[in-house]
Amino acid sequence: MTYTDLLGRATRILFFTGKGGVGKTSLACATALVLAESGKRILLVSTDPASNLDEVLGVELTGQPMAVPGAAGLCALNIDPEASAKAYRERVVGPYRGVLPDAAVNSIEEQLSGACTVEIAAFDEFMKLLGNAHATSEFDHILFDTAPTGHTLRLLKLPGAWTGFIATNTTGTSCLGPLAGLQAQRSLYESSLHALADGSTSTVVLVSRPEPSALTEADRTRAELSQLGVSNQCLILNGLFVAQDQGDPAARALEARGRQAVEGIPAGLAVLPRLDIPLLACAPMGIAQLRGMLKPGTISSFTDFGAYRVPPSAIPLSDLIDAIEAAGHGVVMTMGKGGVGKTTVASAIAIELAHRGHRVHLSTTDPAAHLAVTVGEPVPKLQVSRIDPAVETARYTAEVMARSAAQLDAEGIALLEEDLRSPCTEEIAVFSAFARTVAEGEECFVVLDTAPTGHTLLLLDAAEAYHRDVARTTSDVPEAVRHLLPRLRDARFTRVLLVTLPEATPVHEAARLREDLLRAGIQPFAWVVNQSFAGSGFRDPVLVERGAREWPFIAEVRDRFSSRLALIPWSAEAPVGPERLRRLANSRAGTDAEGADT
Amino acid sequence: MKKLEVFDPPMCCSTGICGPGVDPTLVRFAADFHWLAGQGLVVERFNLAQQPQAYAANPTVTAALAQYGNRCLPLILLNGAIVSKGCYPTREELAHMTGVE
């Protein structure tokens, strides 16, 4: 499939989805731009809580469609869940200011500031765009730059789950939480579901890098969406590299790795229409570069290699592990944008600590995580687990039923069972499991590979809300939950590692995450720059340029955010299995400026 | 026909299953309330976080809120008059105050 074919197939609604860091935003923007330039009226929407659409388009967006300067016919908006939640709260509370006593009004506001409300408010905005043709009638195409996969799936699955929930809720008193007000919008949800499943209206564009883990995840998304009746899908393979300098062994290894991944493409993906995009020397920023993304060769060639040096203060990951090991126990959390290698870094740290003789528990809250695949085989002293929402929900439900059943009659039990089927239950259950896992850090090392940025923030946000709740509630609060926030704030107990790639978007998202952590009273321990081309000794011009372009971002991290900075050079071997992960933990970037200087 | 109205404090939901732990009182009361509905009474339950209109529109409720603050919640009205303030009565107490046998 060529790019013209993709544009020819463009339905009114296009979803771009894939693992974090595969280039969804860039490709959604570039596609929107080309469609707009063909004379169509385009609305580009980000539903990612940690959206960087602003940065890529070079314009500050709001929750309303806004014309993008320099791109006639293109409008964009950001669904900001926090802002949506605030607006939702104000809609509920506003009319009662001065009518009800202030204390009552304040207490309503506080009740509506939990993570549920944020999720539901964002969902409501999404539904309006998807289900209400009138709200978007002035646009020919609507493109959704959807959030990282786990979140996307939740977003896309919710209409099904909640429509089902509303239909089977018989007592009317059940817990819909802040969703209660939305029952009236049932017809809106139904038309959204229709739009999603109708292949002449909607297309899902699966975006992947030529890497096994990204392809596996794309295939999982494909299967899940197909199950939901969404069958009109196509695939964009972004970042295919062909070595220009065949005498560069590292470049040939990179090319071979991509080729192998494409050869091993899952069968379900292989039958989809596919577009290949070559690896670019830099991630496109701004209208001019986005335009160039689809017309290769138009991005200006890079010649200034003068500043190309690995920062002298960058240390190998093993130096960070030394500092972590010294504490004897505690929690390590890897955070950052999706796709930067949080799982790899978390696994490498866990395996190295276990190898040094410590008891380690490696776990994740990411619904789409693949820890077991990364670790590969059993390692002595290392326990690998995941916080599985379905399992945790079942466990939590059983616990609540067991505790409450004694004081209820049959009818009361039925009522409670129905209540526990609400969307909130999963959120609470996952949260409790997270708190429990953190508590284990008192006894051993706990390494948590956390979910992508937005989801993580919601979790921490929930921690804050619960912290407030815990102080006043009379209910039976588990000890782990009560101690969670103090533990996360204790720099000697919890060590947060911000993981990034040496590129603009992941660095800036990690910086925003750092701000949020500081606001929550959590000081990050160190930064880890992963997959650095700069330290890897490439000679191929595209890869040398990529390496050279990393430098300002590495310097930015070092100078503005953290002097404790570990750098992991790009490696030709996939970071899977204990041996390779230990090698990665101990690998040292060469100060190989010679490749650039010659 | 007798009418019982319950004005809850602001809550995510009326069984309290959304808190960091489940409040057994709320679970028990949800069942008792459901039972009462089956005894021939007209029963209604309001949540301050979701239905502030019901509170604002009822002078008895707004007066109680102004005088006692949120402490008076849950507030229970029988035929418009306050019969309970600041706690969830047991099933026996509910039966007694509504005259259900």
The ipTM of this complex is: 0.83
* Strands (E) located in A321-420: 330-335, 360-364, 382-384
Q: What is the pLDDT of residue A347?
A: 97
Q: What is the pLDDT of residue A302?
A: 45
A521 touches chain B (CB under 8 A): no
Q: Which A-chain residues 95-134 have CB contacts (< 8 A) with chain B?
A: 95-96, 99-101, 103-105, 107-108, 110-112, 114, 116
| A contact test, residue of B5, B14, B15, B91 with most A CBs within 10 A | B15
Cα–Cα dist B64/B7, whole Å: 11
Alpha helices in A245-370 (DSSP H): 249-263, 267-270, 286-293, 317-326, 342-355
Question: Which helix (H) or strand (E) is A597 found in, with range?
Answer: helix A594-597
CB A179 within 8 A of CB A158: no
Instruction: Give how far A409 is from chain B: nearest CA, Å.
Output: 8
Question: Which helix (H) or strand (E) is A337 found in, with range?
Answer: none
- Other CB atoms within 10 A of residue A249 CB: 14
Q: What is the pLDDT of residue A148?
A: 47
**Assigned token pair, A518:** 């500081």
Cα–Cα dist A58/A67, whole Å: 12
- Among A92, A180, A473, the residue with its CB nearest the CB of B19 is A473
Q: With an 8 Å Cβ cutoff, are B52 and A108 in contact?
A: yes
Q: How many CB pairs under 8 A join A and B?
A: 157
Cα–Cα dist A134/A51, whole Å: 26
Instruction: Give how far A103 is from chain B: nearest CA, Å.
Output: 7
Q: What is the pLDDT of residue A353?
A: 98
**Assigned token pair, B18:** 């959304």
Give percent above pLDDT 90 in chain A: 34
CB A501 within 8 A of CB A473: no
CB A336 within 8 A of CB A498: yes
Q: Using CA of residue A535, residue A539, residue A540, residue A541, what is the dihedral sign?
A: positive
Q: With an 8 Å Cβ cutoff, are A180 and B25 in contact?
A: no
For chain A, the domains span 3-293, 314-592
CB A495 within 8 A of CB A331: yes
- Among A105, A407, A419, the residue with its CB nearest the CB of B17 is A419
Chain B CB contacts of A174 below 8 Å: 13, 15
Tokens 């429990």 sit at which residue?
Answer: A436
Q: Which A-chain residues 454-473 have CB contacts (< 8 A) with chain B?
A: 466, 469-470, 473
- Among B14, B21, B52, the residue with its CB nearest the CB of A476 is B21
A29-54 exposure pattern, b = at least 16 Cβ within 10 A, e = fewer = bbbbbbbbeeebebbbbbbbbbbbbe
Q: What is the pLDDT of residue A48?
A: 72
Which CATH fold would you assign to the domain A3-293?
Answer: Rossmann fold (3.40.50)
In Å, what is the CA distance from B67 to each residue of A101, A126, A199, B57?
9, 42, 60, 16
Q: Give Cβ neighbours of residue A515 (< 8 Å, ≥ 6 apart).
A: none
Question: Which helix (H) or strand (E) is A96 found in, with range?
Answer: none
| A contact test, residue of B12, B23, B28, B34 with most A CBs within 10 A | B12
Q: Are strands A233-240 and A141-145 parallel, antiparallel or unpaired?
A: unpaired
Q: With an 8 Å Cβ cutoff, are B20 and A474 in contact?
A: no
Q: Which residue of A has its CA nearest to B50?
A: A178
Following DSSP, what letter does each residue of A555-596 receive, concatenated?
HHIIIII-S-EEEEE--SS---SHHHHHHHHH------THHH
- Beta-sheet strand order (sheet of A494-500): A382-384, A360-364, A445-449, A330-335, A494-500, A526-532, A565-569
Proportion of chain A in helix, strand, coil states, percent, rounded to 5: 55, 15, 35
**Assigned token pair, A444:** 């051993």
CB A189 within 8 A of CB A159: yes
| A contact test, residue of B8, B13, B43 with most A CBs within 10 A | B13
Chain B CB contacts of A177 below 8 Å: 12-13, 18
Give the CA angle between residues A236, A241, A245 to the nearest 5°. Answer: 165
Tell me chain A's radius of gyration from C-alpha atoms: 24
Q: With an 8 Å Cβ cutoff, are A101 and B65 in contact?
A: yes
A170 touches chain B (CB under 8 A): no
Chain B interface residues (partner A, CB cutoff 8 A): 9-28, 30-35, 45, 48-50, 52-53, 55-56, 62, 65-66, 69-70
Q: What is the pLDDT of residue A594?
A: 37
- Among B23, B35, B53, the residue with its CB nearest the CB of A475 is B23
> pLDDT of A325-334, one tens digit each?
999 999 999 9
Q: Which residue of A has its CA nearest to B32?
A: A412
Q: Are strands B3-8 and B75-78 parallel, antiparallel or unpaired?
A: antiparallel
Mapped onto helix, strand or coil, the DSSP state of residue A176 is coil
Instruction: Give how far A111 is from chain B: nearest CA, Å.
Output: 6
Cα–Cα dist A105/A115, whole Å: 19
Instruction: Give how far B19 is from chain A: nearest CA, Å.
Output: 8
- Among A96, A114, A175, the residue with its CB nearest the CB of B52 is A96
Cα–Cα dist A351/A245, whole Å: 36
- Other CB atoms within 10 A of residue A179 CB: 23
Cα–Cα dist A335/A325, whole Å: 19
A183 touches chain B (CB under 8 A): no
Q: What is the pLDDT of residue A580?
A: 95
Q: With an 8 Å Cβ cutoff, are B49 and A473 in contact?
A: no
Q: What is the pLDDT of residue B44?
A: 92
Two domains, one topology: A3-293 and A314-592: yes
Mean pLDDT by 10 residues, chain A (598 residues): 81 86 88 93 84 86 90 91 79 86 85 66 73 81 73 52 51 44 59 78 92 88 82 92 85 91 95 91 83 62 50 82 96 88 95 97 83 92 92 89 82 80 74 89 94 55 65 67 86 95 87 84 93 82 83 89 91 89 88 38
- Among B33, B50, B52, the residue with its CB nearest the CB of A180 is B50
> pLDDT of A150-173, one tens digit each?
445 555 555 555 555 555 544 444
Around A274, how many Cα atoms within 13 Å sit in the side-chain half-sphere? 17
Q: Of A504, A498, A503, A513, whose CA–CA distance to A55 is shortest?
A: A504
Q: With an 8 Å Cβ cutoff, are A475 and B17 in contact?
A: no
Q: What does the H/E/C string look like for A134-171?
A: HHHCCCCEEEEECCCHHHHHHHHHHHHHHHHHHHHCCC
- Among A100, A112, A116, the residue with its CB nearest the CB of B62 is A100
Proportion of chain B in helix, strand, coil states, percent, rounded to 5: 40, 20, 40
Q: Which residues of A are marked as active site?
A: 21, 23-26, 48, 505
Query: In this structure, what are the phi and psi dihedrals at residue B83, rounded to the nearest 5 degrees?
Result: -115, -15
> pLDDT of B28-72, one tens digit each?
898 899 899 889 899 999 988 778 889 999 999 999 999 999 899
Cα dihedral value A317, A322, A324, A327, nearest 10:
180
| B contact test, residue of A419, A434, A469 with most B CBs within 10 A | A419
Which CATH fold would you assign to the domain A314-592?
Answer: Rossmann fold (3.40.50)
Instruction: Give how far B95 is from chain A: nearest CA, Å.
Output: 16
